[in-house]
Amino acid sequence: MPTTIKDVAAAAGVSVGTASKALNGLGRMREDTRARVLAAARQLGFRPNPLAQGLLAGRTFTVGLVSSDSFGRFSIPVMLGAEDALGAGQISVFMCDTRDDPIRERHYIERLLARRVEGIIVTGRRTEPRAGIGQNLPVPVVYAMTQSVDERDLSIIPDDRGGGEQAARHLLATGREKIGHITGPERFQAARLRAQGLRDVVEPAGEVLFGEWSEEWGRQGADILLRAVPDVEAIFCGSDQIARGVAETLRERGRRVPDDVALVGFDNWEPMALACRPPLTTIDMSLGDIGRMAAEHLLNVMAGQPAESGVRTVPAGLVIRESTRVAQLP
C-alpha cells in the first residue's frame, strides 16, 4: 500500500493536519517541525493521493480527448499540441478513440463525464462539420480540426482558404502565372476552400479538378490537366499525396519539376513531401497550434472565463522545398 499522509505525520510525530500544512507550505509552525515533516515525507516516498485531493477540491485536473480519426495523421499533431499546453498546467489527458462510431462516441463521452473530466476536446480526420456532442454538458467542449455544425460550439480549424492563397502567392512570386489546381472531392469543404483561396489570388488555369485524396487521382488529374492546359507553369495540389501522383506523371511525360512545372502540395506530410521527387513545397496547417489553442481555450474556461463560440481558423504556413525552386536563367 502506498504511504499516506498519516504515515508521514506519525513518522514526524505530528498530527495529519500539521503534516498537510507543512507539506503545502501553509500555516505557521516552527522551521524544524516543517523540516521534520518534509524529511519524513521524502524518506517514505510520500505522494498525496490525487483522488482525495480531487474529491475535496471538487476538481480532477483531467480533460478528455476524443478522436473520431483513430488518432490518425491529422489528429495526432493536434493531440500533441493539446497535451503540450495541458501538461504544462498539470492537467492530464484521457484518451478515447471513437472509430467514427456515434454509439462509441456517446459511450466515451458518458465515461469521461462520469470521471469528472473538466473539459473535452473533440478532434477529427478532416475539418468537415459534424454533429456536436451536445449542448448543456457540464464541462466546456472545444472542437479541434473538426467543426461542430452547432455555432454555439467553438471550433478551431486550419485556414484552408488562407493556405490556398499562400500557395498561389508563392507561385506568382516565383514567376509562375498559369497555375492549375488538382484536389480532393468537391464535397469536402477543405477542398472547396483551398480552391477558393487560389482563386482569390489568381484565376486558375483550366478547370479546377476535383477528384480523390489519392496519388492515383494525382496521376490521372495531371494527365487531364496537361491535355487541357499544355503550357501550364505550376500545379497547386490539394494534398501531398495528390502532388506526388502529379509529380510522377509529370516526370513520365517529360516535364521537369520545377524547371518546366512547379508543384505545391498541402499538408506537409513529411514522409510524402520529402520522398517526392523533387521534395515538395507544401502548406503546413500548423496542427500543433490548433491543438494548443484548443487546450488554451479549455484552460481559460476552466479558469472561469466565459466560453467562446463560433469558428476560429489558425494560419497555415508555407514550407519551401525543391519543387518550386525558381527556374534557372538560361
Closest to its own copies by CB, 52 vs 228, is: 52
Of its own copies, DNA, none, which one sits near residue 116, judging by CB under 5 to 8 A according to partner kind? its own copies
* Closest C-alpha to 193, from 162, 225, 148, 220: 162
Whether the Cβ atoms of residue 227 and residue 253 lie closer than 8 Å to each other: no
Can you give the three-state secondary structure of 117-177, one letter per residue?
A: CCCEEEECCCCCEECCCCCCCCCCEEEECCEECCCCCEEEEECHHHHHHHHHHHHHHCCCC
Angstrom distance (rounded) from CA 38 to CA 34: 6
Binding of residue 58 to DNA (CB under 7 A): yes
Angstrom distance (rounded) from CA 99 to CA 101: 5
Tell me the window of 51-59, 100-108, 249-257, 302-310 that interacts with DNA (CB under 7 A).
Answer: 51-59
Closest to its own copies by CB, 73 vs 169, is: 73
Closest to its own copies by CB, 122 vs 171, is: 122
Shortest distance, CB of residue 87 to its own copies, whole angstroms? 8
Binding of residue 87 to DNA (CB under 7 A): no
Whether the Cβ atoms of residue 198 and residue 179 lie closer than 8 Å to each other: yes
Query: Using the rule CB under 7 A, which residue among 35, 39, 43, 55 binds DNA?
Result: 55
Q: How far is CA 37 from CA 13, 30, 52, in A?
A: 8, 11, 20
- The residue ranges that bind DNA (CB under 7 A) are 1-2, 4-6, 13-21, 23-24, 26-30, 33, 46-49, 52-53, 55-58
- The residue ranges that bind its own copies (CB under 8 A) are 1-2, 47-52, 54-55, 58, 60, 62, 65, 70-72, 76, 79-80, 83, 87, 90, 92-97, 111, 113-116, 138, 214-216, 241, 244-245, 271-272, 275
